[in-house]
Structure 1
């Protein structure tokens, strides 16, 4: 079964206006049996988006419209492809309670969810680590080094894996090495192997899945999947479920990086 567990939509404020029907038709033509639309969830109301464009999450006033549209498409295309209604939830350190409340309210309406770290907290401020290389360079100055950003990222990642977010906590950890996005411009002098192995151990302990994300291979300053091959091999050894995700923000991005996915490793489908 060919599955894409990480697709964005026209509801994404930093994506494209490509229509749901276009994504679905293209997925069918590429031979996908199952897809998950996992739009960036609305950010907590009292959280100030630190990105310059303030476009990290979808408009909260359109959430029910998003669910309604996808419910219709699930039925309309049921004979051709399985469509899952999902969200990509941000783990934001210090906002666990708000996130748990959101998931408790809307979790029953969701078929699939991803938990991702995009924001890092330093003192009383937050920074988006994947907005742009220029912004990442500013973070290097603020945090003191690239190594310091990596240290904070993997610490936050492990907190997200172990966070109590209630009954509807997402079952899949999104692009767990997203901090590598600009690694060719901002190389790190440490491998962080121990931290990554700790994260894998906690993912296994919590019965979570990993988003085997093809987008990183297409990022010119990254050049590898999220996570990279050795991590995927280690996860496979531990029998952690691996779900391919294109992380498409436009129709043309569907299946991106799929040719670089290790086909000798058994991929899974989302489980809820």
Structure 2
């Protein structure tokens, strides 16, 4: 049995995505044989948080949130006989903003079918925030702020650990998004240290807290990454630990729905997971 769901999909409500209509994503998913799709739009950032990206376009605008929810719920009804549609968010864990995030989740949690918890933002050594996946040029600036690429990796995994352990209330997402997003620019900015022990520790935390893991295909198509988030050796570790896996294309345009799923299906079949 092949994987038939894409559990990490964006929408036109994403400021850094395409203008493709939600219906376009759904029709493409159906065309590609999917039976389930989760829309995980970037939840609005805390109202008192300043987006550090050059265009301040990391997440959905607060003014769009009700329209987003209404749009997905309407699509559920329209396509209920053809595909299962889940309303969700990709929620950012931001150090120092746990209370604001919990407030958001408490308000909108009852409407959420599925959700992802991700780390995109880090606090640098002078207590300013940076976004790790915006661009190669921005990542170079971040390395300078932290004094080494290894220090950036260390901070990322420390923040990810905090995200897993944080009390964000009863509606905290149960899936960790793109575990190795920090490797997005690995082919340009390589690290000298091994993070095998750190990854193993993070996976153990995910297992202990009964979280799922996002198997994200977007990294396969990033020029300076060209591998899954996380890569296959880490996926094997997760499988060995019994961690539930959910694949996602992280699509920001409709044509990339389920992109890379042939690679995931072949990998899972080879490892007796299908």
Q: TM-score, normalised by structure 1?
A: 0.96
2:227 corresponds, among 224, 233, 239, to 224
Q: Distance in 1 between matches of 2:122 and 2:71?
A: 33
Equivalent residue, structure 1, for 2:7: 5
Equivalent residue, structure 2, for 1:54: 56
Q: Distance in 2 between matches of 1:134 and 1:78?
A: 44
Q: Deviations over 1:187-226 (max 9, x none)?
A: 0111211111111000001110000000001101001000
Once the 2 structures are TM-superposed, how far is the Cα of residue 258 of structure 1 from its aligned partner? 1.6
Equivalent residue, structure 1, for 2:268: 263
- Between the two proteins, the alignment pairs up a number of residues equal to 268
Equivalent residue, structure 1, for 2:183: 180
Q: Distance in 2 between matches of 1:16 and 1:225?
A: 22
Q: Distance in 1 between matches of 2:168 and 2:241?
A: 24
Say which SS state the counterpart of residue 232 (structure 1) adopts: helix
Equivalent residue, structure 1, for 2:115: 113
2:168 corresponds, among 154, 165, 169, to 165
2:157 corresponds, among 154, 159, 172, to 154
1:154 touches 1:195 (CA, 8 Å); kept in 2? yes
Equivalent residue, structure 2, for 1:125: 128
Change (3 A) 1:266 1:162: farther
Instruction: Give the gaps of 5 or more residues in structure 1.
Output: none
Q: Distance in 1 between matches of 2:272 and 2:35?
A: 16
Q: Distance in 2 between matches of 1:223 and 1:254?
A: 18
Q: TM-score, normalised by structure 2?
A: 0.96
Once the 2 structures are TM-superposed, how far is the Cα of residue 257 of structure 1 from its aligned partner? 2.0
- CA-based RMSD of the aligned residues comes to 1.2
Q: Distance in 1 between matches of 2:273 and 2:39?
A: 18
Q: Distance in 1 between matches of 2:66 and 2:93?
A: 21
Once the 2 structures are TM-superposed, how far is the Cα of residue 266 of structure 1 from its aligned partner? 6.7
The equivalences for 1:29-108 within 5 A come to 29-108=31-110
1:23 corresponds, among 9, 22, 25, to 25
- 255-264 or 52-61, which deviates more: 255-264
1:243 touches 1:267 (CA, 8 Å); kept in 2? no
Following TM superposition, the consecutive aligned residue runs of length 4 or more in structure 1 with deviations greater than 6 angstroms are none
1:117 touches 1:156 (CA, 8 Å); kept in 2? yes
Once the 2 structures are TM-superposed, how far is the Cα of residue 255 of structure 1 from its aligned partner? 1.5
Change (3 A) 1:94 1:267: farther
Instruction: Give the gaps of 5 or more residues in structure 2.
Output: none
